Amino acid sequence: MKKSQIRKSILNKRKKLANRNISINFKKILTILKTKNINGKIIGGYYPFNNELDCFEILKTFEKKKYLITLPKIKKNFQMNFFDWKSDEPLTINKFGIPEPISNKFRYPDIILVPLVAFDKDLNRVGYGGGFYDRYIQKIKRKKKFILIGLAYSFQKVKKIPVNKHDVKLNLILTEKNIVK
């Protein structure tokens, strides 16, 4: 299947199934960070959009544990950066209808929680097709070490995702049921 077919199929399925109050156990994330020896305290999160898995409780829990939370802001030419955000701060809406932080203080996250449309057992992902995360990851991997954690519903797993040279694999994917490593 082509990425566009996978995207269409999973987005339709997600639209029907995503509103079931499903969450990921925060303790799983802490265990992973300890296992991988990740000591950084800057989290790159995302604002859940289009029935994505809601990571806001995860971000709030990180914030309570004194992690610095950042969210992406979209820039020109399919670029993005992560900017400081606190759970009590307002957000602004970008041209895609996605809320973004108002802060102008950008940071390079140590841990990036990556939204996705679909994934496979080899940690490949399909996003919305803009390549924002792939470009961002390529840009910062020369500047900083980080871990990429995909967040998804278990039903978003597909057999095989076609990949090209620009696609970036995740380090692991968390669903409400398991961890894909």
Residues 6+ apart with CB under 8 A from 97: 49
CA dist 83 and 106 (Å) reads 4
Are 56 and 115 in contact by the 8 Å Cβ rule? The answer is no
* pLDDT on residue 91: 96
Predicted TM-score (pTM) above 0.85: yes
Domains, the chain, with CATH or none: 3-180 (3.40.50.10420)
Residues 6+ apart with CB under 8 A from 115: 46, 48, 49, 52, 53, 55, 127, 150, 151
Could you report the per-residue pLDDT of 117-166, keeping only the tens digit for each?
999 999 999 999 999 999 999 999 999 999 999 999 999 999 999 999 98
Partners of 71 in beta bridges: 83
**Stretch 84-89: mean pLDDT, rounded?**
96
CA dist 57 and 78 (Å) reads 28
Of 180, 169, 171, nearest to 149 by C-alpha is: 171
* pLDDT on residue 35: 84
Residues 6+ apart with CB under 8 A from 120: 157, 158, 159, 160, 161
Determine the residue type at 130.
G
